[in-house]
Amino acid sequence: SQQGEEDPQALSIQEGENATMNCSYKTSINNLQWYRQNSGRGLVHLILIRSNEREKHSGRLRVTLDTSKKSSSLLITASRAADTASYFCAGNAGNMLTFGGGTRLMVKP
Amino acid sequence: DAGITQSPRHKVTETGTPVTLRCHQTENHRYMYWYRQDPGHGLRLIHYSYGVKDTDKGEVSDGYSVSRSKTEDFLLTLESATSSQTSVYFCAISDNGYEQYFGPGTRLTVT
C-alpha cells in the first residue's frame, strides 16, 4: 500500500511557470518528505517537513503540510527545464518511509 | 550518490536461480534500506537494517532475504528468482532514520 498519493500524476508546464504537486497520505506520520528522481537515476532528497510544521521553504521550493487533512503540497517556483523529473512524497513513521506513486513533471524550454 | 554503490548495476537471470545484490556505503550510516520500483507502484520497501545484524521486514518482503554483517554492506538475496521480481532495486542509507540517500539502482530482469 502507498502512504502517499500524488496529484496530478503528470504535469507539463512552460519554463518560468510555477509547478504545484499535491500529496495525500493515510496514517499518522512524524514527518513528510519530498524526493526527486531524474530518469534512470536514484532518488534525491529535496525537503523534509515535520508534523508540527505547516510550511517550509528551501530555495525555489515551498512545502506545506496540513495534518488535519493528511495532505501536503510542493510548489516549485520559476521552473527550469532542469526541473523535469518525477517527484515523490514519502511519509515517515518510525524509521521507514512509505512512498506515493509520484508526479511526472515536464518543463518545456 | 552520497557514497553509495550498488552491484551489479544490471543483471539478467533465469527463473529459479539465486541472485544477490550488494549495497555498499562509505558514509558509516546506521540505517540501510532495500526498495523495489515498479511502474504504477512507486517505491516499495523490501527490508531494512537498523544496525549490524539487525534487520526487519518491509511491505514486500516475501521471496527476499537480507544480511548485514558489516556497517558498510547490505545484501539482498532472491533465493529463487521469479519473473515477478523483475524490477529496479534501490538501496538507500540514513544516519537518523529520516532523510534517505539513494544509490544508483540495479536493473534486474528474470527470464
Best probe of the B interface among A97, A98, A104, by most B CBs < 10 A, is: A97
For residue A3, what pLDDT is reported?
Answer: 53
The grid coordinates listed for B21 are: 545484490
Contacts A95 to B, Cβ<8 Å: 31, 48, 50, 94, 97
Give me Rg for the CA atoms of chain B.
13
The grid coordinates listed for B50 are: 537498523
A1 pLDDT exceeds 60? no
Asked whether the beta carbons of B11 and B88 are under 8 A apart, the reply is no
For residue A40, what pLDDT is reported?
Answer: 87
Reduce the DSSP state of residue B81 to 3 states and report it.
Answer: coil
B41 pLDDT exceeds 90? no
Spatial distance between the Cα atoms of B38 and B45, rounded to a whole number of angstroms: 12
Give the rounded distance of the alpha carbon of A10 from its chain centre: 13
pLDDT in tens, B77-109: 999 999 999 999 999 999 999 999 999 999 999
- Whether residue A41 and residue B44 make contact (CB cut-off 8 A), yes or no, is no
Residue B106 to residues B9, B68, B76, B87, Cα–Cα distance (Å): 4, 18, 11, 8
The grid coordinates listed for A39 are: 530518469
pLDDT in tens, A13-55: 999 999 999 999 988 999 999 999 999 899 999 999 999 999 9
Burial B70-93 (b: 16+ CB within 10 A, else e): eebebbbebeebeeebbbbbbbbb
- Whether residue A98 and residue B101 make contact (CB cut-off 8 A), yes or no, is no
For residue B2, what pLDDT is reported?
Answer: 60
B1 pLDDT exceeds 80? no
For residue A65, what pLDDT is reported?
Answer: 97
